[in-house]
Structure 1
Amino acid sequence: MFSNIEEIDALVEKHIQYRENCLNLIASENYSSPAVRNHLTSDFGNRYGCYPTINPASREYRGNKYIHEFEMKTQSLVGEVFGAKYVDLRPIGGHIAGVATVLGLLSPGDLVLEISLKDWGHGLVALMREAPHLNRTIRVEFMPFTEDRAIDLEQLTKMIHELKPKMLIFGGSGMLWPEPIAEIKVIAEKEGIILCHDASHVTGLIAGGVFPNPLQQGVDVMFGSTHKSFPGPQGGFIVTNRFEMFERIGNTLGSSLVTSHHLNRLPALAVSMLEIKKFGEDYGAKIVKNSQALGKYMEQDGFKVIGARKGYSQTHLILVDVSEFGSGLQISKQLEEANILCSDDFGQLDKEIRIGTAEVTRMGIQEGDMKFIADCFKRIIVNKENPSGVAQEVNSFTESYRSCKYVL
């Protein structure tokens, strides 16, 4: 228990110093610029901004005239970046954005095809079904994948014709490749299927123009988070060019799922959007190059990198099968002892680790540096070196990469 502010500050400072000495390769995290962080502390954080979906000027609370102006300008900025007519920034995270989309657009008994957790999906509907009443009203099946962790278009097409789903949700937490959205769109239009994309992981790459924009490819709704490959504050968004869907989703979101939507996010989000408009293409391209370089060096060090024959990755992450060396969970914990942070597969097959390059790229780490990082993995996982010795070298390495790049 804390007894004074000094104790609070001291523990926060310990965290900051610890993370400065770590190689953060967690694909679902990123590093916000000082400008973004400074804009999280405004008076907005103490206010309510509740409003009806299609009439945001009709605020439930008084004193919102400048908040309203700010929110509308931020919506316009987000819409410009993603090529969307309609934007909802009220979701406080990507998961809530997805829940609102599913509940807003489906009827009881409808079937959803999504990516399973074992294939590094977010498992949105599968997790929603843990609520007993949703388990009785929403059905779910999972998209098929190839050994390169790409969606199997032939098998997916067969599933669609046989199962007749109402909704498909592309996107996941282990995305290596663009998905066959344009091909599936042809079928979806004939069958009346709603296409959605959970872009949480690739939001920054889409905004930077280095990953295909699902809206341009034909999805009806794109939703996600703003703090993974996109280096903004934690939060969520929903974008679409379909007004009727925008209204239905928004009316489901507020106020059944969100009332206070944490307005302090908006200034920080606006700053990060301006950063990505200016630097997103360069930043995104370097992220992808770093992923590919790391995949190459990991393979050279004897690891089984998923999708190696396709070029390792076209996103901010690579996937590595470490089953010959042990449990993915235990290996990720061993790496943590060496101040190397990455993700295991969250208790699914327990055989893979996910390594992300978004944050280290923003700190200035280049393709050539991926050799050092790959070798650190080998020293811990293959050579079974003492993690403390590797941690010291990681600490020395990170000293040169503690300033944030691609900032206004």
Structure 2
Amino acid sequence: MTPPRFRPKTSSPGSSGFRAIADEVGAKVMFDAAHQCGFIAGRAWKNPLAEGAHFMTMSTYKSLGGPAGGLIVTNDAESAEKLDAIAYPGMTANFDAGKTAALAISLADWISHGEAYAQEMIATAKAFAETLSEAGLPVFAGDSGFTASHQFAVEAARFGGGQTAARKLERGGFLACGIGLPVSAVAGDNNGLRIGTPELVRFGVDRNNVREIASLCARVLMSNAPETLAGETAALRARYQTLHYVNV
């Protein structure tokens, strides 16, 4: 067998098939689950640790809905010992007890409600995207459709770019952001607009009532005076005040 040319300390792949390659050169497989963490915790997506990853990094907010921060998790004892040695006292001297307590409560909510929350985020994102598409907006689609997660994107060239579209939405009471897409570039701006559903679903929006919100979002994007619709957005938002998928 030809000796390997490279021996990386860590690899960050998108497929469990890389485990064999990593084992051959003595590397560890890391999976970045920054956005996917909620779907892994909610069993909507496969667990990378069970698919061959040695450890997994993730955000504790985004689709997980906890306080801002991150986690490195592993089911490999050797990796855990090395990570512990690096993290403390090598890189950190203390921790935020309040944030740790908030994360513990969030994770307890996930044990009870995570599967339902994850599935509803996906279904709500699909319904939102479908409604925008039906309104004539260029929703970006891949081989599996508009989305299989909590977020989707709109091709933003017709709005002057993704960040330009996001600022227009903000004038109408919606928060979104620009993002890069594998489509033609927009000079001086992102070519996509990203919309997500975690916060919506957490406050009671679902795959059925999101269509009203999406229709208003489409009107804001296509309006020449989006600020005139901000009152409608505020009134619609006022109907969703109760936090869902939590332990009472």
Q: TM-score range by the shorter chain?
A: 0.7 to 0.9
Q: What is aligned with 2:100?
A: 266
Q: Could you tell me which amino acid in structure 2 is paired with residue 405 of structure 1? A: H
- Select between 347-356 and 314-323 the one with higher mean Cα deviation: 347-356
Equivalent residue for 2:215?
375
Instruction: Please give the alpha-carbon distance, in whole angstroms, between the structure 2 residues aligned to 1:305 and 1:163.
Output: 41
Structure of greater relative contact order (alpha carbons < 8 Å, 6+ residues apart): 1
TM-score (norm 1): 0.54
Q: 159, 168, 171: which is aligned to 2:11?
A: 168
How far the C-alpha of 1:372 sits from its partner, in A, is 2.5
- The verdict on how the C-alpha distance between 1:353 and 1:237 changes in structure 2, with shifts beyond 3 A counting, is same
Q: Deviations over 1:169-200 (max 9, x none)?
A: 25xxxxxxxx4x22222333334342111212
Query: Measured at CA, do residues 380 and 254 of structure 1 come closer, stay the same or move farther in structure 2, by a change above 3 Å?
Result: same
User: Contact 1:168/1:196 (CA < 8 Å) preserved in 2?
Assistant: yes
Cα pair distance change 1:303/1:163, threshold 3 Å: farther
Q: Does the aligned pair in 1 maintain the 2:140–2:153 contact within 8 Å?
A: yes
Give me the whole-angstrom Cα distance separating, in 1, the residues matched to 2:117 and 2:165.
Answer: 30
- Distance in 2 of aligned mates of 1:166 and 1:298: 44
| Maintained 8 Å contact 1:303/1:322 | no
Counterpart of 1:331 in structure 2 is 165
The answer for unaligned runs of 5 or more in structure 1 is 1-160, 171-178
Counterpart in the other structure of 1:363? 203
The equivalent residue for 2:139 is 305
Match of 1:220 in 2: 54
1:13-162 matched pairs, under 5 angstroms: none
How far is 1:256 from its partner? 3.5
Q: Distance in 1 between matches of 2:19 and 2:47?
A: 14
1:359 deviation in Å? 0.8
Which residue of structure 2 lines up, in the alignment, with residue 129 of structure 1? none
Amino acid aligned to 1:371: R
- Give ranges in structure 2 of 5+ residues lacking alignment: 181-186
Which amino acid is the alignment partner of residue 55 of structure 2?
A: V
Give aligned pairs, total: 238
Give, in angstroms, the shift of residue 405 of structure 1: 0.7
Distance apart, 1:286 and its partner CA: 0.6
Q: Does residue 1:387 correspond to 2:226, yes or no? A: yes
Of 192, 217, 230, which aligns to 2:26? 192
Whether the 8 Å CA contact 1:291–1:313 is kept in 2: the answer is: yes
2:117 to 277, 283, 304: 283
Residue 214 of structure 2: SS of its match in structure 1? helix
Change (3 A) 1:162 1:291: farther
Matches of 1:337 and 1:378 in 2, distance apart?
Answer: 13
> For residue 184 of structure 2, what is the aligned residue in structure 1?
none
Q: Tell me, yes or no, if the aligned pair for 2:213 and 2:236 is still in contact at 8 Å.
A: no
- Quick one: distance in 2 between partners of 1:378 and 1:273? 34
Distance, in Å, in 1 between the alignment partners of 2:8 and 2:214 is 42
- CA shift, 1:285, in A, is 0.6
| Distance of 1:202 and 1:291 partners within structure 2 | 14
2-side partners of 1:248 and 1:209: how far apart?
A: 28
Any idea what the Cα deviations from partners look like across 1:12-64, whole Å, max 9, x if unmatched? xxxxxxxxxxxxxxxxxxxxxxxxxxxxxxxxxxxxxxxxxxxxxxxxxxxxx
- Residue 338 of structure 1 deviates from its aligned partner by 1.0
Q: Which consecutive aligned stretches of 4+ in structure 1 deviate over 4 angstroms post-superposition? A: 161-166, 346-349
1:235 deviates by 2.3
Match of 1:242 in 2: 76
1:342 paired residue among 165, 171, 176: 176
| Alignment partners' CA distance in 2, 1:375 and 1:385 | 16
Letter in 1 for 2:35: H
2:50 pairs with 1:210: no
Whether the 8 Å CA contact 2:163–2:189 is kept in 1: the answer is: no
Q: CA–CA distance in 1 between the matches of 2:217 and 2:140?
A: 16
Comparing 387-396 and 296-305, the one that deviates more: 296-305
Q: CA RMSD for the aligned pairs?
A: 2.4
Partners of 1:289 and 1:253 in 2: how far apart?
37
What is the alpha-carbon distance in structure 1 between the residues aligned to residue 59 and residue 211 of structure 2? 30
